[in-house]
Chains A and B, each alone.
Chain A
């Protein structure tokens, strides 16, 4: 069965960076894009960007350009999301999500990781 297992809770100070990992199993990791979505407490969902595990290509929402890096290890079937220059507004649960379609992330996301809470506080 498909699973996305994320790394644990993070607490960071403003200005620091955080890296969240997402280990995939139960399917061919390189065949489906991984996207990242975040959700602040009591708020809605916000899409951050996508990464192709096949070739490492990425696409980021302009809001996060320059601060976010998405990468992968194909040998470990693991995706990573690093967010730098953290501020209090980045406090949220971060989800990695698998694209439903091998070619198009835009069709939807059929599997979600359990979420990684990230708190940014001095």
Chain B
């Protein structure tokens, strides 16, 4: 099965905003509001930062926001900080096997 499509890398300067896209199909991203995003620092377990497309868990900075248009979901990080440098993965429910699908991951570099 193919992963959701994410850019391999994005970069930005401190203070800037960046957006990471996650493209799927009408059977997953486009069909359900069950998109989540995870941040993973090297050697660490992933951390949930967005769920249900745009909701933030308690304790997650409001600099992180999520949205969706059609079959593409997006994660926006505003006021980029050095600590935001990490890998980011989107995830979506889908109505066929496998029922949970991750994106290939995007490496964010803070310049």
Contacts and interface: CB of A to CB of B under 8 A. Distances in A.
A8 interface: no
B55 to A, nearest CB: 9
A44 interface: yes
Interface string B1-39: 101000000000000000000000000000010101010
Interface size class of A (residues with CB under 8 A): 20 to 34
Contacts of A114: 45
B102 A115 contact: no
B73 to A, nearest CB: 13
B97 A62 contact: yes
Contacts of B64: none
Interface in A43-65: 44-47, 59, 61-63
Given A44-B3, A47-B102, A113 B45 contact: yes
Interface in A63-122: 63, 95, 100, 104-110, 112-115
A106 B47 contact: no
Nearest to B93: A106
Interface-centre pick from A59, A107, A114 (highest chain B CB count, 10 A) = A107
Interface size class of B (residues with CB under 8 A): 20 to 34
B45 A112 contact: yes
B62 interface: no
Contact of B105 (A45, A62, A105, A108): A45
A108 B91 contact: yes
A102 B102 CA distance: 21
A63 B101 CA distance: 13
Given A44-B89, A112-B45, A112-B47, A107 B102 contact: no
Contact of B100 (A47, A95, A110, A113): A47
Nearest to B49: A108
B86 interface: no
Contacts of B46: 45, 95, 112
Contact of A106 (B38, B45, B99, B105): B99
8 contacts: A44-B103, A45-B46, A45-B102, A47-B102, A62-B98, A106-B34, A108-B36, A108-B48
